[in-house]
Amino acid sequence: MSASYPSEPSERDRWILARRGARNRLDASSACAGLHEEEPDGSGRTVPVSTIFLTNRECPWRCLMCDLWRDTLEESVPAGAIPSQIANALTGLPPARWIKLYNAGSFFDPRAIPPEDHDAIAETVRGFERVIVESHPALVAEPVLRFRDALAGSLEVAMGLETVHPEVLPKLNKRMTLEQFRSAARFLAGEGIGIRAFVLVGLPFVGAEEFADWACRSAEFAFESGASVVSLIPTRTGNGAMDALMRAGEFSPPGLAALEAAHASGLHLRRGRVLADLWDFSRLARCGSCARDREARLRRMNLSQTVLPPIPCADCGGSAS
């Protein structure tokens, strides 16, 4: 099995799949997980959010950096399963005003979320002011409008921009161009639908010293395209493909300093809300002396949308910015 990443796009799916491990065992009747979060609402207040990770069929795209396939099924879920997952997950969560329905792929992929369930899903989340779902830009079309119209609250669509790096984006195997992202964002904005963008902190084939700069450039492009929220996602190893690139010297996992620098730079843009994703913070925290304080700082920055003073540390030097 060749260790080098294919130069031909047609060969990349096979290379990525060949390096995968096993999926986690899931039950189509239960959501993968549910959690309670807080986010800034854009007007200086904090809003409680219920986030549910749905169990459904794997995404049809084989993105180089993706590890979400581990919590997906090989077959489509039966009709009625997704509304049931949501209802059951909500019983274990405190009240919230917004809800995120994340499904390790695209909400508008009919093989992942049965379209015939959209009305039932809308009824299940009727008590929420805002519903946030995720989608590949290629699937942003008329079904989005039908789902929006079924909701009692407003709709926001999160799309993975990942990066604006002209050489790296094609290599991510996402099969998306910047113009396609911009076009999907234009469609959503024209229909009064909110836009959130996912941006990677830490790129393969790029030196670590450039991680924060490319994340900031990508956030700026997202805001220029109409996004009101950018979520900064530290790129992870553990999916097989990224581990292979790391062994080959083509990827270096981002450290906490890269996320801190990207977050501060994004906030300085003052174009929209910038959120540092802290879901897997333990991977980033390599200093036991300051990790807890630096995590707390990033959480406060997420909510306040202001850059706070760096955390000093005698052992590692502390916060990057």
Give the DSSP per-residue string, 224-253: HTT-SEEEEEE----SSHHHHHHHTTS---
Strand-pairing partners, residue 133, are 101, 157
pLDDT the model gives residue 1? 40
The stretches of the chain forming alpha helices (DSSP H) are 12-18, 81-90, 118-124, 142-150, 168-171, 178-190, 211-224, 241-247, 256-269, 281-284, 291-304
Please tell me whether residue 317 adopts helix, strand or coil conformation: coil
Closest CA to 81 of 60, 112, 105, 109: 112
| Type of residue numbered 234 | P
The dihedrals phi and psi of 281, each to the nearest 5 degrees, come to -60, -35
- Number of C-beta neighbours around residue 126 at 10 A: 12
- How far apart CA 107 and CA 114 sit, in angstroms, is 9
Closest CA to 187 of 217, 221, 225: 225
Exposure string for 146-174, b = 16+ CB within 10 A, e = fewer: ebbebbebebbbbbbbbbbbeebbebbbb
Tokens of 309: 């003073």
Which residues does the chain have with pLDDT short of 70? 1-3
pLDDT the model gives residue 285? 86
- How far apart CA 217 and CA 161 sit, in angstroms, is 11
DSSP 58: P
pLDDT the model gives residue 321? 80
Long-range contacts of 12-20 (CB under 8 A, 24+ apart): 12/62, 12/64, 12/171, 12/173, 13/62, 13/173, 15/241, 16/62, 16/64, 16/173, 16/240, 16/241, 17/62, 19/239, 19/240, 19/241, 19/243, 19/244, 20/69, 20/239, 20/240, 20/241
Contact status, residue 317 vs residue 261, Cβ threshold 8 Å:
no
pLDDT the model gives residue 163? 98
Q: Kindly report, residue by residue over 18-34, the tens digit of the pLDDT.
A: 999 999 999 999 999 99
Q: What is the pTM of this model?
A: 0.96
- How far apart CA 183 and CA 176 sit, in angstroms, is 11
As to burial, measured by CB atoms within 10 angstroms (0-12 exposed, 13-18 middle, 19+ buried), residue 116 is exposed
- How far apart CA 5 and CA 171 sit, in angstroms, is 9
Q: Which residues have C-beta within 8 Å of that of residue 63, sequence separation ≥ 6?
A: 160, 162, 172, 173, 174
